[in-house]
Amino acid sequence: AAVWTLDDLASGGGGGGGGGDKVYLAVGSKVFDVSSSRQFYGPGGPYAALAGREVAFALSTGSLAGPFNVQLPPGVAARTADTLAGWLRRLEAKYTVIATLDEAALGELSEEEAEAAVAAAGAAAPPVHHGHGHGHGHGAGAAAPP
């Protein structure tokens, strides 16, 4: 498979432009084409923040506000391994891995920065988080990850 840079990945934000309507996201080194679920990952979707980015931190911690394109600090990786493995199984079952992301391009994230991001996500509960008393007006299946 091709080896992609973060710029290649960013072309799959679903908003037209260089990547057209394609929607990509990466988890670690695996780049998935999630274009078939544009309603979730495309512009305006509940997971639109993940499009065109490496999202292991967001998926493993539930911090959908990021940070993105970062390596998981060892402590976070150890604590969230089961969660991330579950996401990978789900993504691999539904979508095609189309490229390998050059993980050397991912930024460094300290344990402290990671903890702060998780704490902020819990405190802020941005609108992309479902199941926090928002009712069921978000369309079928929005409460469960696609």
Tell me the domains of the chain and their CATH numbers: 2-124 (3.10.120.10)
Residue with tokens 């390596």: 71
DSSP 84-142: HHHHHHHHHHHSEEEEEE-GGGSBP--HHHHHHHHHHHHHH--TT--SSS-TTTT-TTT
Q: Please give the pLDDT value at position 6.
A: 95
pTM (two decimals): 0.80
Core vs surface per residue 118-143: b (16+ CB within 10 A) or e? beebeeeeeebbbeeeeeeeeeeebe
Question: What average pLDDT values come out for the chain (146 residues) when binned by 10 residues?
Answer: 91 69 94 95 92 96 92 93 96 97 93 91 56 40 45
Q: How many CB atoms lie within 10 A of CB 95?
A: 21
